Chain A
Amino acid sequence: MASGVKPRVKVPKKAAAGDAITIKTLISHKMESGQRKDGDGNIIPRSIINRFTCDFNGQNVIDVTLEAAISTNPYIEFESLVPEAGEFKFTWYDDDGDVYDTTKKIAIG
């Protein structure tokens, strides 16, 4: 597992039914591009988050493919409709096979 990986998400605690809300996500990750060389001239292997998804009550909201040129600690901000109370599930997929996830509940009101 890449070291120091920590997902962070900001979702409003509640929203009116049918509202579009702004969601901010950030994961600390070094996003090694695979283009750099170490002190001995050897290529440092690529190690990035290659996919990010967000689901609301099991329904997909966004599915992102990340590429090697994306900078360290990728920040993704997007909007989502909230038809009902429920739970957002956020998932990040690492090159090394690790999967990091976190969830946030949202209420209607």
Chain B
Amino acid sequence: MNFKALTAIALVAGLSAPLAMAGGADDDNMVINGDTDMTTKAAAAAHLDGALDEVISGWHFRSDETQQLQLDDFDNPGMIFVDKAMDTWNAAEGTEGKACADCHDDPADSMAGVRATYPKWNEAAGEVRTLQMQVNDCRVNQMGAEAWKYDAGTAVDMEAMISVQSRGMPMNVAIDGGAADTWAKGKELYYTRTGQLELSCANCHEDNYGNYIRADHLSQGQTNGFPAYRLKNAKLNGVHSRFKGCVRDTRAETYSPGSAEFIALELYVASRGNGLAVEGPSVRN
């Protein structure tokens, strides 16, 4: 909607190729439940110098109908899974007989702001951890329960429930310190062409966002909206599963959800979205 106006603005601002084409991001405003203003466009982080000037939520690239589903928690089908995870949060599991709630009480307090900083360097473990890895660490070491399979339904639902507590807060992933090596690895993966089609993440999501790839409107591939409820499979989808789908579409052998490669890529892509509001669970097609 209204891409002509945006194109005009882009031209006035003197921006070149990627923005000055048909079908870019629209200029709607996202206000959730009529009271939470969401930052869906932000100035790009310093490390994106030369790559992107502005980072834009994937929400702007979806149709009005899909966008509207995200504006009200009752209409957002992803919230069903958040409810489910809330039950899991309060249910005792494992040999210690503890529930998440026993240590962390109300997630509205204990989990506020958490999603915005993940993936995150864990000094004690000496590794970058995604939110799901951290939850599993808690499950195994604190609860004596089994780790959830990466990106399995229960794990993604829990991730969404934790994300909701940070909704509206700007993504703020640290890329320095211990995380620097993993971040560099993720960056390399982002720009590495894969598969028979020889496409890198950047070919679509940096060079051609706003354009159409057949019927699909390419976004910047931001992760601030994950876990995302997708209309195509009527469930919440984790970031790694989405990466896998994308890599598969380049006709390559993919990495597995939870693999070191996807953890690095998640960190890098999350850092590209620094400044955008946490949306999870978002609604996408």
A73, B74: Cβ atoms closer than 8 Å: no
- Using A6-B83, A73-B80 as known contacts, say yes or no to A26 and B234 having CB atoms under 8 A apart: no
Chain B contributes a number of interface residues (CB within 8 A of A) equal to 7
Indicate whether A8 reaches chain B with its CB closer than 8 angstroms: yes
> Are A10 and B74 neighbours in the complex by a CB distance under 8 Å?
yes
Provide the main secondary structure of the chain B interface.
loop
Q: How far is the CB of B32 from chain A (nearest CB, A)?
A: 15
Let me know if A8 and B234 touch, CB within 8 A: no
Query: With a CB–CB cut-off of 8 A, which chain B residues contact A28?
Result: 80, 83-84
How big is chain A's contact interface, by range? 10 to 19
CA distance A24 to B72 in the complex (A): 12
Beta-carbon contacts under 8 Å, B47-90 to A: 74-75, 77, 80, 83-84
Report the minimal beta-carbon distance from A88 to chain B, rounded to whole angstroms. Answer: 15
Interface residues of A in 41-73 (CB under 8 A from B): 71-73
Closest to B73 in A: A10
Binding site for B on A (CB under 8 A): 4, 6, 8, 10, 24, 26, 28, 71-73, 75
Taking A6-B80, A8-B74, A28-B84 as known contacts, 4 extra A-B pairs with beta carbons closer than 8 A to each other, sorted by chain A number, are A8-B80, A24-B75, A72-B234, A73-B77
13 residue pairs of the A-B complex, CB under 8 angstroms, read A4-B84, A6-B80, A6-B83, A8-B74, A8-B83, A24-B75, A26-B80, A28-B80, A28-B83, A28-B84, A71-B234, A72-B234, A75-B77
